[in-house]
Amino acid sequence: MEHVFAGTTALVTGAAQGIGAAVAGKLAAAGARVIATDRNEQRHDHPNIEPVRLDVTDAGAVQRIIGAAGPIGLLVNVAGILRLGPVASLSDQDWADTFAVNTTGVFHLSRAVVPGMIARRDGVIITVASNAAGVPRAGMAAYAASKAAAVMFTKSLGLEVARHGVRCNTVCPGSTDTPMQRAMWRDGTGPAAVLRGDPESYRVGIPLGRIAEPEDVADAVLFLASPAARHITMHDLYVDGGATLRA
């Protein structure tokens, strides 16, 4: 995909690490000017990447960043947080924080960029959600619900803007080797446990026998953003090695 995004300004949220950093790097390598946003400090080596501090829950800050960025041809919503725990002990703050980033943040960014895309009759919005959006996960109710909401929001937006030539899709990763994933591993058996699954929590393993790298998810994002996917919209692409056994 060398130079396929030349002339495109892309905005990526959650770009400081993990999947967001991989997406920003691959887009930059493919010729895009990348506005890489995160609420944490970022370190990127590519000259096409412009790091910007942004909290996606702050609607005013989002509007200011979009206003200063110039025409944005591609938005990739990656920013997300994970708060674990059974529903009976989940705090109001954990629930609110999860939705503020994982769902409302997607709304803030998408609402800010879509008028310009409609006016130009061109643009792509991709939301990186999770396979938990389509399969229940014990101890992950807030996360799963927030990601399911983000998926349906993105598809509904896609229906509204399709007649204007704007495409909206979602990518749903499974277990991926990121800081978020590693934070759930209590010891060195973490990766093996993910591959095996856990029947007691009704969770299957990964049929392909490997945990995804952030680049695997980024490649799916780049495909859906590219002209090769010009007739794909409102699609939900699972990148999880078969972990959800979807029909």
In this structure, the number of other CB atoms found within 10 A of the CB of residue 205 comes to: 18
Mean pLDDT of 54-68: 98
Residue 143 annotated to the active site: yes
Of the residues 143, 158, 181, 220, which is catalytic?
Answer: 143
Residue 219 confidence class, pLDDT cut points 50, 70, 90: very high
Question: Which strand (E) or helix (H) includes residue 140?
Answer: none
- pTM of this prediction? 0.93
Per-residue pLDDT for 178 more than 80? no
Per-residue pLDDT for 184 more than 70? no
Q: Considering just the CA atoms, what is the radius of gyration of the chain in Å?
A: 17
3-state secondary structure of 11: strand
3-state secondary structure 157-168: HHHHHHHHCEEE
- Per-residue pLDDT tens digits for 94-130: 999 999 999 999 999 999 999 999 999 999 999 999 9
| Sign of the four-CA dihedral 108, 110, 113, 114 | negative
Superfamily of domain 9-237: NAD(P)-binding Rossmann-like Domain (3.40.50.720)
